[in-house]
Amino acid sequence: MGEIGGNDFNYGFLGNSTKEEVESYVPAVVKTISSAIQELIELGASTLLVPGDLPIGCSTAYLTKFMHSDKGQYDPKTGCINWLNKFSQQYNELLQKELHLLRDLNPAATIIYADYYNAAMQFYASPKSHGFRKGALVACCGAGGPYNFKFSALCGDPSARDICSDTSVYASWDGMHFTEAAYKWIATGLLQGTFTFPPVPKICTNRFNPNVS
């Protein structure tokens, strides 16, 4: 399954929708994902990996859009916006509850939840220990500003000339997407099973070695 829901929230939050408006269509997003999973299973899919939402309160674009002088809105450890991350967590909880119901309805299928939120939070909480010497919040490619991000001059625009020389020390590429280094941390966490439920290695072991419990 693709990351259904991400752009629904992006268009809402980064547009002119209120927090309450975006929250109101979370159930519809979850139900759409659920329906797509069920349809794929009925078509013969036996293993599906379903990602949750990333911590949008740590996103460079969101940090720029919702920049505020009230320091109480920010997590002092990560610099991320608390209420936006709470939104992501609540959405992920609803999604996981729906996946639990789908597993009960389809016991022969393997439905894996990919915990994008905590996979990314590992380097937001401790960027330097993950190799991000420039931090995890500032974009590599942008047009200046506190987070090197401007909606009026996105990466690729002729005026977006502030481009880093080493992407490996940045977690954010263009304010909306990660660098390869950040994606590697996320992918490694998922494949090793730390941020998947059920853990991917256990599924592979059981599938190829059915006598191993």
Average pLDDT, the chain: 93
Q: Per residue in 127-158, pLDDT tens?
A: 999 999 999 999 999 999 999 999 999 999 99
**Which pLDDT band holds residue 8 (cuts at 50, 70, 90)?**
confident
pLDDT at 211: 58
In whole angstroms, what is the distance from residue 141 CA to residue 155 CA? 6
- Which residues, in sequence order, are CB contacts of 66 under 8 Å at separation 6+? 73, 81, 84
Q: What would the mean pLDDT of 24-52 be, rounded to a whole number?
A: 96
Residue 5 predicted with pLDDT over 80: no
Which letter does DSSP use for residue 212 in this model?
A: -
pLDDT at 145: 94
